[in-house]
Amino acid sequence: MHQRDVGLLAPVRATSPVDEVTSDHAFVRAMLDAEAAVTRAQAAVGLAPPEAAATVTAVARADRFDPASLADRARAGGNPVIPLVADLTQAVADAHAEHAAYVHRGPTSQDIMDTACMLVTAASLDLIAADLGRAADAFGALAARHRDTPLAGRTLTQHAVPTTVGLKVAGWRALVLDAYERITRVRAALPVQLGGAAGTLAAFHAYAEAPNATPGPDGDDLGLSLIAAYADELGLAAPELPWHALRTPVADTGAALAFGAGALGKVAGDVLVLARTEIGELGEGSGGGSSAMPHKANPVRATLIAAAARQVPALASVLLGALAAPDERAAGPWHAEWQPLRDALRLLGGAAHTAAELGASLTVDADRMRANLGLTGGALLSERLVAELAPRLGRGPAKAALTRAARRATEQGTDLFDALRAEPDVTGALPAARLRELAEPTDYLGSAGALTDRALRRDPRSSHPGQDPR
């Protein structure tokens, strides 16, 4: 019994916009769109009657074809295009017998399957880009709202120096925009595939009758004119060459998807750390529940994004591995791409949609952040103190005095600045009032505000293609 994959084990993508456009039904629709467009393109260059193109287009409706049956019969030929062509040819013959001869006349199965994958990828990347844009907007608003809210900067898991929520979240936004740029660049370059049996388009020439063939506007030969017409029919790019064994479009897509997942994974990782009970600096607003512990409000959105971030790079490695495709058409590499490509699209699609929700729901506990700044008893300001004391004592003695004071503060459970008062060199070099000034973490934020402002001015959605928005 065949049942639709509803995402039971991948909740991040379940019911997301990309989930629908990557369904089995969507792939059948894309294959049919590719088949109909081939016939229309041939009609455009005089290789098929316009009436035949109209018939094929009218019959090529996805609801007339059963994905489960196609999947069963795909085993015989290794891909679902073969049984689909048989069913489509019969359906066209039932509608208009003479037009059935123009179904799948010239292309190979890989032409249709690759083009269908590009159509599904295009629809998915459009949705992913929109959700990445929503996430960037949400993080931008959060960064602006908390431009100067201080929190402890953490390096190698430990408190380092003070930073701001604005700078941290502006960094998230920058990564999301980096992902957006990669996704939109790949989307714009997605090509049709049309090469015939071995990439020469020879079959189309064989079918051509010179008096009826229409040369391209630039004097291109029949094959080049046909590719251009095919690309125009589907709204995809016209490739320089048939890419049956030149898998750049799929590899580039995989790399962009992996980058996007990693970028969102960075955001999720930060949220998961800062939402820990003992840290409590961030929250998801309405968190997820637990099956056993009623008190919990789990950071579920960040968890789902983090899970996707760990899967997509592995899927992308399969797509990159398919670059090693022998011959003019390979046995195995392009077949291996289909499921990983769909899974990667679904996972990033779900993660991007969830990230937009996460950005809109995040809460900042500024009081908790301020309290956590004091957890080290002033030690996170040791860099500042070295810079202040070095001109007076020399860098080496200043660092040695701070090391002694920090050790004593840790052993005695006191504040670093209290411990410094036991260092004669320090008290002789710094008046007590200045020492108190140096103990304020919010006065040691460097260029955090200016960096945040500059980052928030960047928006590749309003820049010209190819222009560096930074």
Instruction: Return the closest-CA partner of residue 39 out of 169, 187, 207, 180.
Output: 207
Q: Which residue among 290, 317, 447, 463 is the active-site one?
A: 290
Q: Which residue among 329, 342, 346, 384 is the active-site one?
A: 329
Distance of CA 437 to the CA centre of its chain: 45
Q: Are 265 and 175 in contact (CB under 8 A)?
A: no
Using DSSP bridges, classify how beta strands 282-283 and 363-364 pair: parallel, antiparallel or unpaired.
antiparallel
Number of H helices, E strands in the chain: 19, 4
Instruction: Return the closest-CA partner of residue 174 out of 153, 143, 195.
Output: 143
Enumerate the β-bridge partners of residue 342. none
Amino acid code (one letter) for 69: S
390, exposed or middle or buried, with CB in 10 Å at 0-12, 13-18, 19+? middle
Enumerate the β-bridge partners of residue 363. 283
SS3 annotation, 240-287: CCCCCCCCHHHHHHHHHHHHHHHHHHHHHHHHHHHCCCCCCCEECCCC
DSSP codes, 41-75: HHHHTTSS-HHHHHHHHHH--GGGS-HHHHHHHHH
Is 290 labeled as catalytic in the residue annotation? Answer: yes
CA–CA separation, 265 and 274 (whole Å): 14
Is 4 labeled as catalytic in the residue annotation? Answer: no
Residue 97: how many other CB atoms lie within 10 Å? 9
DSSP codes, 421-441: TT-HHHHHHS-HHHHHHHT-G
Give the catalytic positions in this structure: 290, 329
